[in-house]
Amino acid sequence: MVLVLLSTLSADPANAQAKKLQKATFGMGCFWCSEALFQRLNGVSSVRSGYEGGDVANPSYEDVCTGTTGHAEVIEITYDPLKIEYDELLEVFWKSHDPTTLNRQGADVGTQYRSVVFYHNEEQKQIADKYKKELNDTKAFGKPVVTAINKASTFYLADSYHQDYFNKNGNQPYCRMVILPKLEKLEKVFKAKLKH
Protein backbone atom coordinates (compact mmCIF):
# COMPACT_ATOMS: atom_id res chain seq x y z
CA MET A 1 0.00 0.00 0.00
CA VAL A 2 2.79 2.44 0.92
CA LEU A 3 4.67 1.65 -2.32
CA VAL A 4 1.57 2.33 -4.40
CA LEU A 5 1.02 5.63 -2.63
CA LEU A 6 4.66 6.66 -3.10
CA SER A 7 4.63 5.84 -6.79
CA THR A 8 1.39 7.80 -7.20
CA LEU A 9 2.86 10.81 -5.43
CA SER A 10 6.05 10.72 -7.50
CA ALA A 11 4.19 10.61 -10.84
CA ASP A 12 4.94 13.82 -12.68
CA PRO A 13 1.67 15.35 -13.92
CA ALA A 14 3.53 17.43 -16.52
CA ASN A 15 5.14 14.27 -17.90
CA ALA A 16 1.77 12.53 -18.00
CA GLN A 17 0.38 15.47 -19.99
CA ALA A 18 3.33 15.43 -22.38
CA LYS A 19 2.58 11.81 -23.23
CA LYS A 20 -0.86 12.84 -24.45
CA LEU A 21 0.53 15.39 -26.93
CA GLN A 22 0.70 14.39 -30.58
CA LYS A 23 2.48 15.65 -33.69
CA ALA A 24 1.11 16.77 -37.05
CA THR A 25 3.29 17.82 -39.99
CA PHE A 26 2.02 19.92 -42.90
CA GLY A 27 3.57 21.57 -45.94
CA MET A 28 1.50 24.37 -47.44
CA GLY A 29 3.93 26.77 -49.05
CA CYS A 30 6.15 29.09 -47.07
CA PHE A 31 6.57 27.87 -43.51
CA TRP A 32 6.55 31.43 -42.16
CA CYS A 33 2.86 31.72 -43.11
CA SER A 34 1.94 28.25 -41.90
CA GLU A 35 3.67 28.67 -38.55
CA ALA A 36 1.91 31.99 -37.82
CA LEU A 37 -1.51 30.42 -38.42
CA PHE A 38 -1.16 27.27 -36.36
CA GLN A 39 0.53 29.05 -33.42
CA ARG A 40 -2.78 30.81 -32.79
CA LEU A 41 -4.90 27.67 -32.44
CA ASN A 42 -6.12 26.59 -29.02
CA GLY A 43 -4.61 23.20 -28.19
CA VAL A 44 -1.42 23.76 -30.20
CA SER A 45 1.52 23.88 -27.81
CA SER A 46 4.34 24.42 -30.32
CA VAL A 47 5.03 24.89 -34.02
CA ARG A 48 8.48 24.37 -35.52
CA SER A 49 9.49 25.27 -39.06
CA GLY A 50 11.67 22.86 -40.99
CA TYR A 51 12.04 20.52 -43.94
CA GLU A 52 10.80 17.01 -44.66
CA GLY A 53 10.40 14.55 -47.48
CA GLY A 54 13.73 14.92 -49.22
CA ASP A 55 16.76 12.75 -49.79
CA VAL A 56 19.57 14.99 -48.52
CA ALA A 57 20.62 14.83 -44.86
CA ASN A 58 20.63 18.08 -42.88
CA PRO A 59 19.70 20.40 -45.76
CA SER A 60 20.19 24.14 -45.37
CA TYR A 61 17.53 26.69 -46.29
CA GLU A 62 19.61 27.58 -49.35
CA ASP A 63 19.74 23.87 -50.35
CA VAL A 64 15.97 23.48 -50.04
CA CYS A 65 15.35 26.72 -51.96
CA THR A 66 17.05 25.21 -55.02
CA GLY A 67 14.20 22.67 -55.24
CA THR A 68 16.73 19.87 -55.81
CA THR A 69 16.76 18.21 -52.36
CA GLY A 70 13.20 16.89 -52.55
CA HIS A 71 12.27 18.51 -49.23
CA ALA A 72 9.14 20.54 -48.61
CA GLU A 73 9.03 23.52 -46.28
CA VAL A 74 6.87 22.18 -43.44
CA ILE A 75 5.68 22.91 -39.96
CA GLU A 76 5.77 20.32 -37.20
CA ILE A 77 2.89 20.94 -34.81
CA THR A 78 2.70 19.58 -31.27
CA TYR A 79 -0.90 19.57 -30.11
CA ASP A 80 -3.23 18.29 -27.42
CA PRO A 81 -5.91 16.08 -29.04
CA LEU A 82 -8.18 16.70 -26.05
CA LYS A 83 -8.31 20.39 -27.05
CA ILE A 84 -8.04 20.21 -30.85
CA GLU A 85 -8.49 17.11 -32.98
CA TYR A 86 -6.41 16.12 -35.98
CA ASP A 87 -9.31 16.65 -38.40
CA GLU A 88 -9.67 20.22 -37.07
CA LEU A 89 -6.00 20.83 -37.83
CA LEU A 90 -6.61 19.44 -41.32
CA GLU A 91 -9.56 21.79 -41.78
CA VAL A 92 -7.33 24.79 -41.04
CA PHE A 93 -4.63 23.30 -43.29
CA TRP A 94 -6.90 22.88 -46.31
CA LYS A 95 -8.72 26.20 -45.89
CA SER A 96 -5.52 28.22 -45.41
CA HIS A 97 -3.77 27.54 -48.72
CA ASP A 98 -4.58 26.43 -52.27
CA PRO A 99 -4.33 22.61 -52.28
CA THR A 100 -5.13 22.46 -56.00
CA THR A 101 -1.86 23.94 -57.29
CA LEU A 102 1.00 21.52 -57.79
CA ASN A 103 4.32 22.71 -56.35
CA ARG A 104 3.13 26.28 -55.97
CA GLN A 105 1.59 28.68 -53.47
CA GLY A 106 1.05 32.17 -54.83
CA ALA A 107 4.37 33.58 -56.03
CA ASP A 108 6.31 30.71 -54.41
CA VAL A 109 7.04 28.06 -57.04
CA GLY A 110 8.91 24.76 -56.66
CA THR A 111 8.57 21.33 -55.10
CA GLN A 112 9.63 22.80 -51.75
CA TYR A 113 6.28 24.65 -51.67
CA ARG A 114 4.10 21.62 -52.39
CA SER A 115 0.92 20.87 -50.49
CA VAL A 116 1.63 17.81 -48.36
CA VAL A 117 0.46 16.03 -45.22
CA PHE A 118 3.11 13.93 -43.49
CA TYR A 119 1.17 11.49 -41.32
CA HIS A 120 2.63 10.10 -38.09
CA ASN A 121 0.37 7.06 -37.68
CA GLU A 122 -2.23 5.04 -39.54
CA GLU A 123 -5.12 6.96 -37.96
CA GLN A 124 -3.78 10.28 -39.31
CA LYS A 125 -3.35 8.70 -42.75
CA GLN A 126 -6.94 7.45 -42.79
CA ILE A 127 -8.35 10.80 -41.64
CA ALA A 128 -6.30 12.74 -44.22
CA ASP A 129 -7.19 10.33 -47.06
CA LYS A 130 -10.90 10.47 -46.16
CA TYR A 131 -10.90 14.27 -45.89
CA LYS A 132 -9.10 14.70 -49.23
CA LYS A 133 -11.53 12.27 -50.92
CA GLU A 134 -14.52 14.23 -49.55
CA LEU A 135 -13.05 17.51 -50.82
CA ASN A 136 -12.59 16.01 -54.27
CA ASP A 137 -15.97 14.19 -54.31
CA THR A 138 -17.79 17.41 -53.43
CA LYS A 139 -15.60 19.51 -55.76
CA ALA A 140 -15.04 21.83 -52.79
CA PHE A 141 -12.32 23.79 -54.59
CA GLY A 142 -13.69 23.47 -58.12
CA LYS A 143 -10.45 21.70 -59.09
CA PRO A 144 -8.87 18.48 -57.80
CA VAL A 145 -6.97 18.63 -54.52
CA VAL A 146 -3.38 17.61 -55.33
CA THR A 147 -2.14 17.48 -51.72
CA ALA A 148 0.27 14.57 -51.24
CA ILE A 149 -0.30 12.34 -48.21
CA ASN A 150 3.02 10.77 -47.24
CA LYS A 151 4.40 8.87 -44.28
CA ALA A 152 6.39 11.15 -41.98
CA SER A 153 10.14 10.89 -42.46
CA THR A 154 13.05 12.75 -40.89
CA PHE A 155 12.15 16.30 -39.89
CA TYR A 156 15.03 18.79 -40.15
CA LEU A 157 14.63 21.91 -38.04
CA ALA A 158 15.18 25.16 -39.94
CA ASP A 159 17.64 27.76 -38.63
CA SER A 160 16.58 29.77 -35.58
CA TYR A 161 15.85 32.93 -37.61
CA HIS A 162 13.03 31.01 -39.37
CA GLN A 163 11.35 30.09 -36.07
CA ASP A 164 8.54 32.30 -34.78
CA TYR A 165 9.14 34.43 -37.86
CA PHE A 166 5.95 36.49 -38.03
CA ASN A 167 5.96 37.28 -34.31
CA LYS A 168 9.54 38.58 -34.58
CA ASN A 169 9.22 40.30 -37.99
CA GLY A 170 5.59 41.39 -38.25
CA ASN A 171 6.50 44.78 -39.73
CA GLN A 172 8.43 43.32 -42.67
CA PRO A 173 6.67 43.90 -46.04
CA TYR A 174 6.27 40.12 -46.66
CA CYS A 175 4.62 39.68 -43.29
CA ARG A 176 2.22 42.59 -43.83
CA MET A 177 1.34 41.72 -47.43
CA VAL A 178 1.24 37.90 -47.32
CA ILE A 179 0.93 36.61 -43.76
CA LEU A 180 -1.34 39.26 -42.21
CA PRO A 181 -4.23 38.66 -44.67
CA LYS A 182 -4.03 34.92 -43.89
CA LEU A 183 -4.22 35.67 -40.17
CA GLU A 184 -7.21 37.96 -40.72
CA LYS A 185 -8.96 35.16 -42.63
CA LEU A 186 -8.09 32.71 -39.84
CA GLU A 187 -9.69 35.01 -37.27
CA LYS A 188 -12.88 35.22 -39.31
CA VAL A 189 -13.20 31.55 -40.27
CA PHE A 190 -11.81 29.87 -37.14
CA LYS A 191 -12.53 32.39 -34.37
CA ALA A 192 -13.84 29.68 -32.00
CA LYS A 193 -10.61 27.66 -32.34
CA LEU A 194 -8.21 30.50 -31.50
CA LYS A 195 -6.32 31.04 -28.26
CA HIS A 196 -7.76 33.82 -26.12
Q: How many Å is the Cα radius of gyration of the chain?
A: 18
Q: Yes or no: say if 154 and 110 are a contact pair by the CB < 8 Å rule.
A: no
* Catalytic site residue from 30, 33, 65, 175: 30
- Of the candidates 161, 195, 160, 166, the one whose C-alpha atom is nearest the C-alpha of residue 181 is 166
Q: In the chain, helix, strand, coil percent, each to 5?
A: 45, 20, 35
Region for residue 96 given its phi and psi (left: phi exceeds 0; alpha: psi -120 to 50; beta: otherwise): alpha
65 is catalytic: no
- Of the candidates 59, 20, 22, the one whose C-alpha atom is nearest the C-alpha of residue 162 is 59
d(CA 100, CA 191): 25
Active-site positions read 30
